[in-house]
Amino acid sequence: MPGVTVSVQAEPTGLDSWLALARRLESSGFHALLLGDHPGSGAVPWPALGCAAAVTRTLGLGTYVVQAGVREPMHVAADAATLDILAPGRVTLGLGAGHTPREWHDLGQDRPDPPQRAQRLAEFTEVAARLLQGETVTFAGRHFTLHESRLDGLPAGGRVRLTVGGGHPRVLRAGARHADVVALGGLGRTLADGHRHEARFAAAHMRRWLRVIREEADRAGRAPVIEVLVHFVRATDDRDAAVEEVSQDFPSASAEDVATTPFALIGSPQQMATQIRTQARELGITSYVVREPAVPALERVLPLLTQAR
Protein backbone atom coordinates (compact mmCIF):
# COMPACT_ATOMS: atom_id res chain seq x y z
CA MET A 1 0.00 0.00 0.00
CA PRO A 2 1.33 3.46 -0.78
CA GLY A 3 2.23 5.63 2.19
CA VAL A 4 -0.62 7.65 3.65
CA THR A 5 -0.21 11.01 5.37
CA VAL A 6 -2.58 12.79 7.74
CA SER A 7 -2.35 16.54 8.34
CA VAL A 8 -4.29 18.80 10.70
CA GLN A 9 -6.05 22.06 9.90
CA ALA A 10 -6.23 24.27 12.99
CA GLU A 11 -6.39 27.89 14.09
CA PRO A 12 -4.40 29.55 16.89
CA THR A 13 -6.18 30.89 19.95
CA GLY A 14 -3.04 31.64 21.96
CA LEU A 15 0.70 31.18 21.72
CA ASP A 16 1.16 28.41 24.28
CA SER A 17 -1.66 26.20 22.98
CA TRP A 18 -0.58 26.72 19.38
CA LEU A 19 3.02 25.75 20.04
CA ALA A 20 1.88 22.78 22.13
CA LEU A 21 -0.27 21.60 19.24
CA ALA A 22 2.64 21.84 16.81
CA ARG A 23 4.87 19.80 19.12
CA ARG A 24 2.12 17.23 19.69
CA LEU A 25 1.47 16.74 15.98
CA GLU A 26 5.17 16.28 15.27
CA SER A 27 5.65 13.74 18.05
CA SER A 28 2.49 11.82 17.07
CA GLY A 29 3.52 11.39 13.44
CA PHE A 30 1.16 13.77 11.69
CA HIS A 31 2.40 15.09 8.37
CA ALA A 32 1.67 18.81 8.67
CA LEU A 33 0.00 21.63 10.56
CA LEU A 34 -2.20 23.70 8.25
CA LEU A 35 -4.01 27.02 8.67
CA GLY A 36 -6.79 28.55 6.58
CA ASP A 37 -7.06 32.06 5.19
CA HIS A 38 -10.31 33.99 5.60
CA PRO A 39 -9.36 37.67 5.62
CA GLY A 40 -11.29 39.50 8.33
CA SER A 41 -12.75 36.31 9.81
CA GLY A 42 -9.90 34.77 11.76
CA ALA A 43 -6.17 34.41 11.98
CA VAL A 44 -4.04 34.74 8.86
CA PRO A 45 -1.53 31.94 8.32
CA TRP A 46 2.00 33.25 7.99
CA PRO A 47 2.79 34.58 11.50
CA ALA A 48 1.28 31.51 13.15
CA LEU A 49 3.12 29.10 10.87
CA GLY A 50 6.37 30.95 11.51
CA CYS A 51 5.92 30.46 15.25
CA ALA A 52 5.28 26.74 14.73
CA ALA A 53 8.43 26.50 12.61
CA ALA A 54 10.51 27.63 15.58
CA VAL A 55 9.47 24.70 17.81
CA THR A 56 9.45 21.85 15.26
CA ARG A 57 12.02 20.23 13.02
CA THR A 58 10.17 17.74 10.79
CA LEU A 59 6.50 18.78 10.84
CA GLY A 60 5.19 20.18 7.58
CA LEU A 61 3.64 23.66 7.68
CA GLY A 62 1.20 25.13 5.22
CA THR A 63 -1.88 27.04 4.21
CA TYR A 64 -5.21 25.33 3.72
CA VAL A 65 -6.03 27.34 1.77
CA VAL A 66 -4.96 30.86 0.73
CA GLN A 67 -7.92 32.83 -0.57
CA ALA A 68 -6.71 33.37 -4.12
CA GLY A 69 -9.75 35.44 -5.00
CA VAL A 70 -8.49 38.44 -3.01
CA ARG A 71 -4.75 37.78 -2.83
CA GLU A 72 -1.95 38.41 -5.33
CA PRO A 73 0.25 35.50 -6.47
CA MET A 74 3.54 37.41 -6.29
CA HIS A 75 2.93 38.35 -2.65
CA VAL A 76 1.67 34.91 -1.63
CA ALA A 77 4.57 33.10 -3.30
CA ALA A 78 6.99 35.42 -1.49
CA ASP A 79 5.28 34.68 1.85
CA ALA A 80 5.59 30.93 1.29
CA ALA A 81 9.22 31.18 0.19
CA THR A 82 10.00 33.29 3.26
CA LEU A 83 8.55 30.62 5.55
CA ASP A 84 10.76 28.13 3.71
CA ILE A 85 13.80 30.01 5.04
CA LEU A 86 12.63 29.15 8.58
CA ALA A 87 11.41 25.61 7.77
CA PRO A 88 13.43 24.43 4.76
CA GLY A 89 11.62 21.86 2.67
CA ARG A 90 8.64 21.71 5.04
CA VAL A 91 6.33 24.32 3.48
CA THR A 92 3.19 23.68 1.48
CA LEU A 93 1.33 26.52 -0.19
CA GLY A 94 -2.33 25.53 -0.42
CA LEU A 95 -4.51 27.59 -2.77
CA GLY A 96 -8.28 27.85 -3.13
CA ALA A 97 -10.69 29.98 -5.12
CA GLY A 98 -12.51 31.47 -2.11
CA HIS A 99 -16.25 31.44 -1.52
CA THR A 100 -17.27 33.69 1.38
CA PRO A 101 -19.00 36.86 0.06
CA ARG A 102 -17.69 39.05 2.88
CA GLU A 103 -14.09 38.57 1.73
CA TRP A 104 -14.90 40.48 -1.45
CA HIS A 105 -17.47 42.88 0.01
CA ASP A 106 -14.96 44.15 2.58
CA LEU A 107 -12.84 45.29 -0.38
CA GLY A 108 -15.77 46.96 -2.11
CA GLN A 109 -16.17 44.15 -4.64
CA ASP A 110 -18.89 41.71 -5.57
CA ARG A 111 -18.09 38.03 -5.25
CA PRO A 112 -17.37 36.65 -8.75
CA ASP A 113 -19.37 33.71 -10.03
CA PRO A 114 -17.86 30.18 -9.83
CA PRO A 115 -16.39 30.14 -13.37
CA GLN A 116 -14.65 33.46 -12.78
CA ARG A 117 -13.30 32.34 -9.39
CA ALA A 118 -12.08 29.10 -10.96
CA GLN A 119 -10.37 30.94 -13.81
CA ARG A 120 -8.61 33.31 -11.40
CA LEU A 121 -7.40 30.38 -9.29
CA ALA A 122 -6.12 28.57 -12.40
CA GLU A 123 -4.07 31.63 -13.40
CA PHE A 124 -2.91 32.14 -9.81
CA THR A 125 -1.76 28.51 -9.63
CA GLU A 126 0.30 28.71 -12.81
CA VAL A 127 1.99 31.97 -11.80
CA ALA A 128 2.73 30.86 -8.23
CA ALA A 129 4.11 27.51 -9.40
CA ARG A 130 6.47 29.18 -11.85
CA LEU A 131 7.67 31.74 -9.30
CA LEU A 132 8.32 29.03 -6.72
CA GLN A 133 10.34 27.08 -9.28
CA GLY A 134 12.64 30.10 -9.59
CA GLU A 135 11.41 31.30 -12.98
CA THR A 136 11.30 34.90 -14.12
CA VAL A 137 7.65 35.19 -15.03
CA THR A 138 6.03 37.30 -17.70
CA PHE A 139 2.32 36.55 -17.84
CA ALA A 140 -0.74 38.20 -19.38
CA GLY A 141 -4.00 36.63 -18.33
CA ARG A 142 -7.54 37.74 -17.67
CA HIS A 143 -6.90 38.29 -13.96
CA PHE A 144 -3.13 38.80 -13.60
CA THR A 145 -0.38 40.56 -15.47
CA LEU A 146 3.26 40.08 -14.50
CA HIS A 147 6.34 41.48 -16.21
CA GLU A 148 9.67 39.78 -15.51
CA SER A 149 8.63 39.01 -11.94
CA ARG A 150 10.81 36.78 -9.76
CA LEU A 151 11.55 35.96 -6.14
CA ASP A 152 14.95 37.55 -5.69
CA GLY A 153 16.77 36.54 -2.53
CA LEU A 154 14.30 33.79 -1.59
CA PRO A 155 14.54 29.99 -1.86
CA ALA A 156 13.05 28.56 -5.04
CA GLY A 157 13.54 25.52 -7.23
CA GLY A 158 10.56 23.55 -5.96
CA ARG A 159 11.30 23.51 -2.24
CA VAL A 160 7.80 24.82 -1.51
CA ARG A 161 5.17 22.24 -2.38
CA LEU A 162 1.93 23.43 -3.98
CA THR A 163 -1.58 22.20 -3.16
CA VAL A 164 -4.66 23.24 -5.12
CA GLY A 165 -8.08 22.55 -3.63
CA GLY A 166 -11.53 22.65 -5.16
CA GLY A 167 -14.07 20.81 -7.25
CA HIS A 168 -14.56 22.93 -10.37
CA PRO A 169 -13.11 21.15 -13.44
CA ARG A 170 -10.94 24.15 -14.32
CA VAL A 171 -9.46 24.14 -10.82
CA LEU A 172 -8.81 20.40 -10.89
CA ARG A 173 -7.11 20.63 -14.26
CA ALA A 174 -4.89 23.50 -13.08
CA GLY A 175 -3.95 21.49 -10.01
CA ALA A 176 -3.15 18.41 -12.09
CA ARG A 177 -0.89 20.50 -14.37
CA HIS A 178 0.97 22.56 -11.78
CA ALA A 179 0.50 21.32 -8.20
CA ASP A 180 2.11 18.59 -6.13
CA VAL A 181 -1.21 17.85 -4.44
CA VAL A 182 -4.80 18.15 -5.67
CA ALA A 183 -7.21 18.40 -2.74
CA LEU A 184 -10.90 17.50 -2.80
CA GLY A 185 -13.38 18.83 -0.26
CA GLY A 186 -16.54 16.95 -1.22
CA LEU A 187 -18.49 20.19 -1.44
CA GLY A 188 -20.70 21.85 -4.01
CA ARG A 189 -22.40 25.23 -4.22
CA THR A 190 -22.19 27.73 -1.36
CA LEU A 191 -25.41 27.93 0.66
CA ALA A 192 -27.30 31.10 1.51
CA ASP A 193 -25.32 31.81 4.69
CA GLY A 194 -22.21 32.36 2.56
CA HIS A 195 -20.13 29.82 4.49
CA ARG A 196 -21.64 26.34 4.39
CA HIS A 197 -21.78 24.21 1.26
CA GLU A 198 -23.89 21.55 -0.34
CA ALA A 199 -22.35 18.17 0.45
CA ARG A 200 -21.34 15.99 -2.48
CA PHE A 201 -20.55 12.68 -0.83
CA ALA A 202 -21.97 10.34 -3.49
CA ALA A 203 -19.45 8.06 -5.20
CA ALA A 204 -20.39 9.46 -8.63
CA HIS A 205 -18.98 12.87 -7.69
CA MET A 206 -15.69 11.34 -6.57
CA ARG A 207 -15.37 9.32 -9.77
CA ARG A 208 -15.94 12.45 -11.86
CA TRP A 209 -13.37 14.52 -9.92
CA LEU A 210 -10.76 11.79 -10.10
CA ARG A 211 -11.32 11.31 -13.81
CA VAL A 212 -10.72 15.01 -14.52
CA ILE A 213 -7.54 15.05 -12.42
CA ARG A 214 -6.08 11.91 -13.93
CA GLU A 215 -6.88 12.76 -17.53
CA GLU A 216 -5.17 16.15 -17.18
CA ALA A 217 -2.26 14.71 -15.21
CA ASP A 218 -1.70 12.06 -17.90
CA ARG A 219 -1.63 14.74 -20.59
CA ALA A 220 0.94 16.69 -18.58
CA GLY A 221 3.01 13.62 -17.70
CA ARG A 222 2.49 14.19 -13.98
CA ALA A 223 1.13 12.24 -10.99
CA PRO A 224 -0.03 14.60 -8.24
CA VAL A 225 -0.98 13.31 -4.82
CA ILE A 226 -4.75 13.08 -4.28
CA GLU A 227 -5.88 14.53 -0.96
CA VAL A 228 -9.24 14.81 0.81
CA LEU A 229 -10.49 17.10 3.56
CA VAL A 230 -12.31 14.97 6.14
CA HIS A 231 -15.36 16.81 7.45
CA PHE A 232 -16.43 14.26 10.07
CA VAL A 233 -14.35 12.05 12.33
CA ARG A 234 -16.46 10.01 14.72
CA ALA A 235 -14.75 7.51 17.01
CA THR A 236 -17.28 4.84 17.95
CA ASP A 237 -17.77 1.12 18.40
CA ASP A 238 -21.15 1.33 16.65
CA ARG A 239 -20.26 2.48 13.16
CA ASP A 240 -23.66 1.77 11.61
CA ALA A 241 -25.53 3.93 14.13
CA ALA A 242 -23.03 6.77 13.77
CA VAL A 243 -23.25 6.66 9.97
CA GLU A 244 -27.03 6.91 10.17
CA GLU A 245 -26.80 9.84 12.59
CA VAL A 246 -24.32 11.77 10.45
CA SER A 247 -26.36 11.18 7.29
CA GLN A 248 -29.35 12.96 8.87
CA ASP A 249 -27.41 16.23 8.66
CA PHE A 250 -27.01 15.87 4.88
CA PRO A 251 -30.27 15.44 2.98
CA SER A 252 -28.33 15.14 -0.29
CA ALA A 253 -26.27 12.20 1.03
CA SER A 254 -27.61 8.74 1.81
CA ALA A 255 -26.37 6.61 4.68
CA GLU A 256 -24.51 4.50 2.11
CA ASP A 257 -22.83 7.66 0.76
CA VAL A 258 -21.69 8.62 4.26
CA ALA A 259 -20.49 5.08 5.00
CA THR A 260 -18.25 4.97 1.92
CA THR A 261 -17.19 8.56 1.32
CA PRO A 262 -13.55 9.54 1.99
CA PHE A 263 -14.84 12.80 3.49
CA ALA A 264 -15.92 11.05 6.71
CA LEU A 265 -14.00 8.69 8.99
CA ILE A 266 -16.32 6.80 11.31
CA GLY A 267 -15.77 3.79 13.54
CA SER A 268 -13.10 2.21 15.69
CA PRO A 269 -9.43 2.97 15.03
CA GLN A 270 -9.12 -0.31 13.16
CA GLN A 271 -12.19 0.45 11.03
CA MET A 272 -10.85 3.91 10.18
CA ALA A 273 -7.46 2.45 9.25
CA THR A 274 -9.14 -0.16 7.08
CA GLN A 275 -11.18 2.52 5.34
CA ILE A 276 -8.08 4.59 4.64
CA ARG A 277 -6.17 1.58 3.32
CA THR A 278 -9.08 0.64 1.06
CA GLN A 279 -9.33 4.16 -0.34
CA ALA A 280 -5.60 4.26 -1.02
CA ARG A 281 -5.84 1.00 -2.92
CA GLU A 282 -9.09 1.60 -4.81
CA LEU A 283 -9.14 5.39 -5.30
CA GLY A 284 -5.50 6.39 -5.02
CA ILE A 285 -6.19 8.77 -2.12
CA THR A 286 -3.04 8.93 -0.02
CA SER A 287 -3.32 12.25 1.83
CA TYR A 288 -5.89 13.31 4.42
CA VAL A 289 -6.56 16.55 6.26
CA VAL A 290 -8.59 16.54 9.48
CA ARG A 291 -9.50 19.36 11.82
CA GLU A 292 -8.00 19.83 15.27
CA PRO A 293 -10.80 18.16 17.30
CA ALA A 294 -10.05 14.91 15.45
CA VAL A 295 -6.44 14.74 16.67
CA PRO A 296 -7.05 12.31 19.60
CA ALA A 297 -8.93 9.87 17.37
CA LEU A 298 -6.31 9.96 14.61
CA GLU A 299 -3.48 9.51 17.10
CA ARG A 300 -4.90 6.01 17.59
CA VAL A 301 -5.20 5.41 13.84
CA LEU A 302 -1.74 6.56 12.71
CA PRO A 303 0.18 3.63 14.28
CA LEU A 304 -2.14 1.19 12.49
CA LEU A 305 -1.35 2.83 9.15
CA THR A 306 2.36 2.62 9.84
CA GLN A 307 2.04 -1.08 10.63
CA ALA A 308 0.13 -1.61 7.38
CA ARG A 309 3.10 -0.31 5.39
Q: When comparing pLDDT for 122 and 189, which is higher? A: 122
pLDDT of 309 > 80? The answer is no
pLDDT of 88 > 90? The answer is yes
Q: Which of 281, 97, 249 is nearest to 183 (CA)?
A: 97
pLDDT for 191 equals 61
pLDDT of 302 > 50? The answer is yes
Q: How confident is the model at residue 1 (pLDDT cuts 50, 70, 90)?
A: very low
pLDDT of 72 > 50? The answer is yes
pTM over cut 0.85: yes
pLDDT in tens, 196-214: 667 788 899 999 999 999 9
pLDDT for 247 equals 87
Average pLDDT over residues 157-175: 94
pLDDT in tens, 14-71: 999 999 999 999 999 999 999 999 988 889 999 999 999 999 999 999 999 999 999 9
Q: How confident is the model at residue 248 (pLDDT cuts 50, 70, 90)?
A: confident
pLDDT for 197 equals 66
The Cα–Cα gap between 79 and 63 comes to: 11
Indicate the range of 53-57, 105-109, 293-297 predicted with least confidence: 105-109
pLDDT for 100 equals 87
